Structure 1
Amino acid sequence: MGLLQRMKWPKRAALPPERQLSREAGLTITIHALFQFGASMAGLFLNLYLWRLTEDLVVNGVYNIVVYFLTPIGFAVGGWIGKRKDRMVTYRLGILSMGLFFLLVVLAQEQVVSFYLLFAVLNGFASGLYWMGFLVLMYDVSHDQNRIRFLALNMVFFNAAGLAGPALAGYIIGSNEGLRGYMITFMLAFIMFVIAAVVSLRIGTITTRHKVYYLNLMGLLMRKNRVWLQSLIGFFVFGLFQGIMLFLPNILLYRTVGREDLVGYLGVFFSGLVIASGYVISRKAKETGARRYILASSTGVVLGASFLVIDVSFWTVVLFMILFSISNPLAINTLNTYYYRLMGTLPLKGQLRNEVVVVREFYLNFGRMISIALLLLFSQDLESAWLPVVLVGTALLQYTIFWMIGAGREEDGKA
């Protein structure tokens, strides 16, 4: 018997049944990864495409403000469709609408700048439909015992697709002269969305007796349920930092390296860090650690943003993105897990999931719009000394989420 055969390797403990994922959960992760592959190829470079055409931070900022304004409206419409029909109808409409958006970008080419507000409207509304369907679907295919693991594995595959997409897009754009590479990238994204829509047909619809859309009563529920209201304020604060981070880093990287392919390859590296962080979360994170996780993630992003106060250079931007890529998945997973668990405690026991997801998105995107508006107000170009100040300020506000979730409840072992 050979040495390798005589060696006894430790066996991994089998997952208990309650932590295992269903077939629908696996399909949901697959579809979302396909969507992200296309979205990361095109979305990462869309703001850079606008920057290349205009070199105007205001155009990028206004574009993103309009996107985040329309996204909650897409959520509200998608929630109504999900209540009247099914969340899969909303989900598929979102995938196809995003595909249509990038197909129109291909057809418009450099005329995107002339109609960038209309493109922002379509992008925001389509994103709202997609994420409305997906967030409700995530609630349906997971439960309290396996949700942390589901969300963490979803993050791993989502960012694995986000790792491959920018690398491929960066290679395509770098291998083609002018803006031709951008057009090829946007067309490939359209194809990926079509494939995702086809795969989504394997998840069936569900029938429910609760078809009344209670969005108009959410204000009353917020007044009566202080715990839920605090969690919504937490998402608003989270959006203050996320709004800037969803479009500014790639522009900063491009200004420091001057090449789209290098921006794509750096995106691969940062996505790799997110994957590693997500894997550790899936293995180690516990339901009882929400507030500690928020403190840790907030400290990471504040430390990273502080480097930019010293100087906005290649190395400070990279250090900032490294710490952000490691810390941000912990905040996202913690907030989503906490919110999904909270949804089950609200009236009708999960039947209000469409409405509470819509309200959450209103708070999150309002935070995003406020932060981008502040950035444009104080820093209309990348050379402004106020740019890192706004970043550090919104990063510091993340600490307040600590008081918005879990206070006095089971996270700290208190009934």
Structure 2
Amino acid sequence: MTRIRTVKGNRDLQLLLFITAFYVLATAISNLFVNLLLWRQSKQLHMILNYNFAVILSQMFFYWLAGILAKRLDRVLLFRMGIVILALFYVVILWLRENASAYTILLGAILGCGYGVYWLSYHLLTFEITEPTTRDYFNGMAGLFSSLANLVGPFGAGWVIEVTSVSKGYFLLFLVSLGLFLLAILCSWFLHRRPKETTPYALHKVWTERKRNLSLRRVLTAHIAQGWREGGILFLIILWVFTILQRERSVGLFMLLQSLFSLVLYFAWGRGWMKGHRWKYLFWGGLTSYLGIVALFFSPNPMMVYAYAILIGIAYPLIDVPYRSSTYDIIGTANKAGPWRIEYLQLRDLYTNLGRMMALLLLFFMLGAGEMKAILPWYAVLTGGGYWFISLLLVKQVE
């Protein structure tokens, strides 16, 4: 009851959840379909890799730049800037339309810029607004909104593309996403302002702290494993599902099944029914996600696609909530966590993106050695166990 009263009395926490809802619905409607649009226009996996590599490089740079600016500016203003840049991405892609695949690097750079500014300020606000007693609730509710958005967004988007022409359908999806980001910008005006930092920028000191603090070092290594799992698999899964099922609406059904099962578990986290045993949830979630993805890539048929959707729908919430909450808890107990929180978040993002870049470089190399259908099963085996490896790294750090 105390936790519920704390949450209800925290207006900024509630507003941040509303903005999260607009963000996840906008990305659920359009984000995975950007990769499908580029694939439809180019039919070249290298173009998709260039786009995603540009996203990662741009995100790394602007996450670092946003951290420096967060020392000098109101973090809410920075948060709003990130949402504006994400809205700009959809303005550009609406303008380019059929020529989008000719500007993959530009599109990736804009999206990465928006991600970098948005996620640095979002993580910072989450760190400041939530406490250890409310983090599982916040992360559970954020995951619940994400699941709800993915429950209706991709399936509805696939239906829109099927009942209209492909070009008109994609145009409508991106237009709706732009509108949702505009609503998120409006909500951000009601967040309490955050005064600029008085402490100097000290990333080099946090780097030194990493050498001294074992728990911090392990959680940072875990973020390399997270990036290694996410670098290529996240967008390759959607492309692979699309090549198997051949319809955007079927991709939407895949996401609907995944989100339906995630919804139940995120709701349980948000209600506090799964408190404790974080490491066990993380271990079994990671193992399930690995076995599921290996099975999918070695048996690529529609039945296995939908079975994988169910498995990952169960596994991901078991990984996501304890992992994110434990990360914030470990950073929160590190040396000078208050004044250096921006630098700690930057270091965490640097490790995550390092893992993503390594995974994408591996994919570039493997594509040069063979055909896409031949190399994908082996790529899945090499990178799909990242989440499970996280649980092994954090065996003594997660309660």
The TM-score with structure 2 as length reference comes to 0.93
Alignment coverage as a number of residue pairs? 396
Matched-pair contact (CA < 8 Å) for 2:71–2:197: no
Q: Is the 8 A contact 1:235 1:363 kept in 2?
A: yes
User: Are 1:279 and 2:264 an aligned pair?
Assistant: no
Instruction: In structure 2, give the amino acid aligned to 1:210.
Output: T
Read off the aligned partner of 1:331 and give its amino acid letter: I
| 1:61–1:373 CA contact under 8 A, matched in 2 | no
Confirm whether residue 198 of structure 1 aligns to residue 186 of structure 2.
yes
Distance (whole Å) between structure 1 residues aligned to residue 329 and residue 66 of structure 2: 22
CA distance in 1, matches of 2:398, 2:366: 41
Confirm or deny that 1:137 pairs with 2:125.
Answer: yes
Tell me, in whole angstroms, the C-alpha distance in 1 between the residues paired with 2:398 and 2:253. Answer: 42
Equivalence for 2:320: 332
* SS of 2:190 mapped into structure 1: coil
Is residue 378 of structure 2 the alignment partner of residue 389 of structure 1? yes
Aligned counterpart, 1:3: none
The code of the aligned residue for 2:274 comes to A
Tell me if structure 2 keeps the 8 A contact 1:57–1:382.
Answer: no
Shift of 1:376: 3.3
Give the CA deviation at 1:132: 0.9
- The Cα of 1:410 is off from its aligned counterpart by 7.3
1:87-106 map, 5 Å: 87-106=75-94
Q: 1:262-411 to 2 correspondence within 5 Å?
A: 262-282=250-270, 283-287=272-276, 289-379=277-367, 383-407=372-396, 411=399
How far residue 168 of structure 1 moved from its aligned partner, in angstroms, is 2.9
1:220 to 208, 216, 241: 208
Report the structure number with the largest CA radius of gyration. Answer: 1
Q: Rate the CA distance shift 1:16–1:93 in 2: closer, same or farther, 3 A.
A: closer
So what's the TM-score if we normalise by structure 1?
Answer: 0.90
> Contact 1:91/1:130 (CA < 8 Å) preserved in 2?
yes
Question: Using the alignment, how far apart are the partners of 1:141 and 1:33 within structure 2?
Answer: 17
Distance 1:250 1:399, change over 3 A: closer
Amino acid at match of 2:342: N
CA contact (8 A) 1:94 1:128 kept: yes
Deviation at 1:244, TM superposition (A): 2.4
4+ residue segments displaced more than 6 Å: none
SS state of the match for residue 102, structure 2?
A: coil
1:147 alignment partner, one of 112, 135, 139:
135
| Contact kept? 1:84, 1:212, Cα under 8 Å | no
Contact 1:234 1:400 in 2 (8 A): yes
Residue deviations 1:282-333 (CA, integer Å, cap 9, x gap): 333334x232222111211122023135321222222223212211222121
Decide whether the 8 Å contact of 1:298 with 1:395 is kept in 2.
no
1:42 corresponds to which of 30, 39, 42: 30
Kept after mapping to 2: 8 A contact 1:252/1:317: no
Shift of 1:397: 4.2
Shift of 1:162: 2.7
Alignment partner of 1:158 is 2:135:
no
Q: How does 1:244-263 map to 2 (within 5 A)?
A: 244-263=232-251
Partner of 2:100: 112
Counterpart-to-counterpart distance in 1, 2:147 and 2:121 = 20
3-state DSSP of counterpart to 2:191 = coil
Cα displacement string for residues 67-122 of structure 1 (whole angstroms, at most 9, x for unaligned residues): 11221212111112222112212211110000001110000112211111111111
After superposition, the CA RMSD in angstroms is 2.0
List gaps (5 residues or longer) in structure 1.
Answer: 1-13
In 2, Cα distance between the equivalents of 1:369 and 1:175? 38
Counterpart CA distance in 2 for 1:181 and 1:230 is 45
2:163 is aligned with 1:181:
no
State percent identity of aligned pairs.
24
